[in-house]
Chains A and B, each alone.
Chain A
Amino acid sequence: MVAMAWPTASGLPPRAMVLGAVGICVVLTAALSMLELGRGGFLASLGRLFEYVGNIVAAPDWEYAPTVAWKMLETVEMAFLGTALAVVMSLPLGLLAARNSAPHPAVSHTMRAIMTTIRSLPELMWALFFVTAVGLGPLPGVAAIALVSIGYLGKFLAEAIEAVPDAAVEGVVVHGANRMQVRFYALMPQAWPDFIAVTFYVFEHNVRAATVLGIVGAGGIGYDMTMAMRLFRYDRLALILLAIYLAVTILDRLSDRIRARVI
């Protein structure tokens, strides 16, 4: 047996690494005991999964394609509307939430708290909530997406505004700018480019979110997906999943290209 060792003074792995590894193993084992895993055991479950996926991949229903394409387009439109609304509304709200542009610290604190609360619930829950209020259809979906996006965009804009160096503000104040003018000529122009970049990321996220809102009736392709699964129409399910993958991938790439141009 050849003598081996680790390249440390003690010949053993570094203590931080060992402690970390042991700690992680302990936590994961504890977690495992909390997870009651499916009936029939882990391997049987995996087997069922492979069988299901096999069914999906087997024979897609290509005649369903136009319907799916249309539904996907509607889903993307939902994401777009939600994002656009959020952008428009988060501009004034972000200005209010930033400590250096809010009329009073109480205002900025309240706005930040509201945004954090909005963000903490997922779009799906908000969609459920809006469906109860305004009924089924794409409107509750758009509202849910817009609301959560305001939570993110508003927070981001506020942080970007707060990060504007004092020098930029002084330069404008020295020429006699009032508070509103400071906001428009010193704060917004600096915070703007980062805000635009984040808007693209938010849009990419919202497209994904929009695809699932349908399961609570808030519009989009999610509803068709639930139906296809309930009726065991694997051929349609295949097309739906494909459409979602294509739409998300194409939009991601497009979004990256446009963002690179605009920034």
Chain B
Amino acid sequence: MPTSNSSTEPAIEVAGLAKRFANGVEALAGIDLVIEAGSFVVVLGPSGAGKSTLLRCINGLETPSAGRTIVEGRSVEKRSLRSIRSRVAMVFQRFNLVGRLNVMTNVLCGRLGKRSTLASLIYLMRKDDMDVARRALDRVGLTDREWDRADRLSGGQQQRVGIARALAQEPSIMLADEPVASLDPAISEEILDLLSKIQKQGITMVVSLHQVDYARRYAERIIGLNDGRVVFDGTPEALSDAVLQTIYGR
């Protein structure tokens, strides 16, 4: 079970975050945000709005050009990456599993951050780490496929392995970067239901989506991004058509 931090400290704070890529593209143009612990936040916007970049700045996969990110009171910078990543887990659009390895090994990747041992380099892992992995697989409903090669699973199953890998980290925050963009609608709902269940069990959930109806159904709070700026921040009820225009209009 994830450990929760103190109820007053926000999970994520972002101040003046800006990111310009080497090819001149300005993905983020100044973002200020505070995300409370335990909430389900959806970052909504068209492609190119900066949703991915925002999430990736939170766990350090991108370095911002300006501004800072603070996760559970710690600033995200090169030195703190390892400890930040032990608290923040990510789920990817294309699942990002290692196809040749079996499901259990893929989930065990989530434990690597906590175990920087020589033994881990030859895939020798602690039995209690495997128990954590098994519990994670149980939470996503895939214990019967533990020893199958990851690339033999369907898209939805692979994403559940990805989620199990994230859970195995025992994180307090989960970032999901367009987790259902590669899946068909029925499976997408299963995945989002799963993420919602996980959030209700106490993990802060930040999901980036471009599908408006999913955002309305699952989010407690929606942050609308357009062209690297926050253009909306409120509840799904407040997401009127006029607001959608500002998010999706150009």
Residues of A within 8 A of B (CB): 2-9, 13
Nearest B residue to A17, CB-CB: B123
B102 with A7: CB separation less than 8 A: yes
B130 with A7: CB separation less than 8 A: yes
Nearest B residue to A8, CB-CB: B147
Looking at the complex, which one of A3, A8, A9, A13 makes contact with B126 (CB distance below 8 Å)? Answer: A3
Nearest B residue to A10, CB-CB: B147
Q: Is the interface of A mostly helix, strand, loop or mixed?
A: loop
Residues on B with C-beta less than 8 A from A9 are 146-147
Supplied contacts A2-B128, A4-B125, 18 more A-B pairs, CB within 8 Å: A2-B126, A2-B127, A3-B127, A3-B128, A4-B119, A4-B126, A5-B125, A5-B127, A6-B123, A6-B124, A6-B125, A7-B104, A7-B105, A7-B123, A7-B125, A8-B102, A8-B147, A9-B146
B108 within 8 A of A: yes
Nearest A residue to B129, CB-CB: A4
Residues on A with C-beta less than 8 A from B126 are 2-4
Residues on A with C-beta less than 8 A from B119 are 4
How many Å lie between the Cα of A161 and that of B128 in the bound state? 59
Q: List 16 A-B contacts (CB under 8 A).
A: A2-B128, A3-B126, A3-B128, A4-B119, A4-B125, A4-B127, A5-B124, A5-B127, A6-B123, A6-B124, A6-B125, A7-B102, A7-B104, A7-B105, A7-B123, A8-B102
Residues on A with C-beta less than 8 A from B127 are 2-5
How many Å lie between the Cα of A99 and that of B56 in the bound state? 57
Mark B123-147 against chain A: 1 for CB-CB distance below 8 A, else 0.
1111110100000000000000011
How many Å lie between the Cα of A8 and that of B127 in the bound state? 12
Residues on B with C-beta less than 8 A from A4 are 119, 124-127
A252 to B: closest C-beta gap in Å: 29
Residues on B with C-beta less than 8 A from A6 are 123-125
B54 to A: closest C-beta gap in Å: 34
How many Å lie between the Cα of A197 and that of B245 in the bound state? 54
A203 to B: closest C-beta gap in Å: 36
How many Å lie between the Cα of A216 and that of B78 in the bound state? 58
A49 to B: closest C-beta gap in Å: 31
How many Å lie between the Cα of A3 and that of B131 in the bound state? 12
Nearest A residue to B101, CB-CB: A7
Residues on A with C-beta less than 8 A from B108 are 7
How many Å lie between the Cα of A6 and that of B24 in the bound state? 46
Residues on A with C-beta less than 8 A from B123 are 6-7, 13
How many Å lie between the Cα of A8 and that of B101 in the bound state? 10
How many Å lie between the Cα of A6 and that of B128 in the bound state? 12
How many Å lie between the Cα of A6 and that of B122 in the bound state? 9
